[in-house]
Amino acid sequence: MGIALIITDRPSDGLAQLLRQFLPDVSVQVWPDITDPDAVTLAVLWQHPAGVTDNFPNLKAVTSLGAGMDHIIADQAIDARYQQLRVMTLSLQQRMAQYVLAYVLQDWRNLTNYRQQQKQHQWQVLETDASPTVGFLGLGALGEFVADRCRDLGFNTVAWTRSQQHPAHPCFQGRSGLKKVCQASDYLVVLVPLNQDTREVINRETLSWCQPHTVLINVGRGGHVHEQDLIAALDNKVIRHAVLDVFVEEPLPEAHPFWTHEKITVTPHISARSDDNQTAAVIVDYYRAVSQSDFDEEE
């Protein structure tokens, strides 16, 4: 029994080394150098080749390296035979909150404008409005953590959710709820899972519900945004700015218009990556559960 790391967008040797330290008697193999596919009972997946799990006849469970599960759900080879898991760590939540709040604070407190004033030797106090409203599309483990940190700083929060209510964050559901959240948000943060109901949820119509000063922050998946509709909304001053960390195609093609658009901030999918030590600890727990047959179908 063993673990396979199938992670194609970053080196995974460090994570493999940690797993071997925690589990010295367990086979830990790194894609594409899988020499003993029969030993694999747990596969850790991130941007994996579709169908790769068919190579592992004794596979019991798969886990996403991060919070997103869309790459696993989209792989037709991964079905009910396998328990489907994800790695959620405190460091992942903290880094997501840091990313979102870094931009919100920089923008709301006029820090970029003050930097420009400094270059011009200009001393002018810029007023900030009352506490802004940060809207969330999705209030799962990541969204709730970020929303809580926003509340800690005195910001107002609202959220669009499938069904749940929350004691600290007003939640709205359905199409009418989505409209309310868009209308209320000074900063609109996309953290909802990507599925058939949320694909291109940011489109011409939803953008039209936003305020002209709204800033979109997409840290979910590139597929949440209709790219042409977003560019049109920015060009026509429907919203003010977009901060994008995720894209339909990654890496973002060199000729993509997002790179040069003056109202778009591009970052290379770095909003939240979990600390390797915390990630390894979660994977070890999953492996031990698999080894103890906790995920067997009959249980």
* Catalytic annotation, residues: 221, 269
Kindly list the distances between the CA atom of residue 185 and the CA atoms of 65, 76, 132, 140, 155, in Å, as whole numbers in the listed order. Answer: 31, 37, 8, 18, 11
